[in-house]
Amino acid sequence: MAQLTCENLTLGYEGRNVIENLNFTVNAGDYLCIVGENGAGKSTLIKALLGLKAPTAGKVLYGDGLKKNEIGYLPQQTQVQKDFPASVREIVRTGCLSRGTWSPFYSKSTKAYAEKQMERMGITQLAGRCYRELSGGQQQRVLLARALCATERMILLDEPVAGLDPKVTQEMYELIEGLNKEGITVIMVSHDVGAAVRYATHILHVSKSHMFFGTKEDYLKSDIGRTFTGEGGENE
């Protein structure tokens, strides 16, 4: 069943459209990878999917009981975020805030749920550590645990392996794949087309000149897919 649908979606900023008449559907359990060159509108699309940006035209629809505040989100990190002076446990718990009415105190069940996500990501032993003292890979696990605190249904990941070394990158991809196999719908924005065709079930290619949405098998057969996977041109 469709959890998220974009109908004739048009998005823009500063008076110009960057995406026009985009249509695609994400069903429960899908692994959608969004690829495309810089400036094609991927970041703007993310904001629209999260309900943070209103479309110029068209609409984003949530289905199968999913609400927009039930999408776990792992954003791209800035240097300021990497230096955030809080403990791992404190950061992970903040992901639970979207699950109910805000309170200055976390309930016993909320604390237990956050601990469960830390265990799930293999970072329980880091709970008392300061976030800014962690390695890049450890920080990403913390942020993924935080995203999972908001949802058991869908996560949206924006360049989750940016800046990570190859070994840690592979570990992160395997973590995300494992979550998808557990039934969590994954939407991942990435410049790594190789990872997209390796892990995703569906691919959305956002381009200034051409849009593609379909299964990864159909993507590999398409002109744009052959170009960006290296068979017909350079990888991005």
Give the CATH number of the domain where residue 127 resides: 3.40.50.300
Q: Which residue range(s) make up the domain with 117?
A: 78-188
pLDDT-derived band at 202, boundaries 50, 70, 90: very high
Pairing of strands 185-189, 154-158: parallel
* Helix extents (H) in the chain: 42-49, 79-82, 88-94, 108-120, 136-149, 166-181, 193-199, 216-221, 223-228
pLDDT at res. 231: 61
**Mean pLDDT, rounded, for 100-104:** 56
> Is it the case that residue 109 has pLDDT exceeding 80?
yes
For residues 226 and 6, give the distance between their C-alpha atoms in angstroms, rounded to a whole number: 25
pTM metric for this prediction? 0.91
Q: Look at residue 169 and tell me if it is in a domain.
A: yes
130-147 confidence digits (pLDDT tens):
999 999 999 999 999 999
Q: Is 26 exposed, middle or buried (0-12, 13-18, 19+ CB in 10 A)?
A: buried
> Is it the case that residue 233 has pLDDT exceeding 60?
no
pLDDT at res. 37: 83
Q: Look at residue 146 and tell me if it is in a domain.
A: yes
How many domains are there within the chain?
1
Q: Look at residue 89 and tell me if it is in a domain.
A: yes
Q: Look at residue 30 and tell me if it is in a domain.
A: no
Q: Is 236 exposed, middle or buried (0-12, 13-18, 19+ CB in 10 A)?
A: middle
Q: Look at residue 227 and tell me if it is in a domain.
A: no
For residues 115 and 117, give the distance between their C-alpha atoms in angstroms, rounded to a whole number: 5
How open is the CA angle 67-69-70, to the nearest 5 degrees?
A: 65
Q: Look at residue 96 and tell me if it is in a domain.
A: yes
Least confident of 89-103, 144-158, 197-211: 89-103
- Among the listed residues 31, 58, 22, the one whose alpha carbon sits nearest the alpha carbon of residue 173: 31
Q: Look at residue 111 and tell me if it is in a domain.
A: yes
Q: Look at residue 166 and tell me if it is in a domain.
A: yes
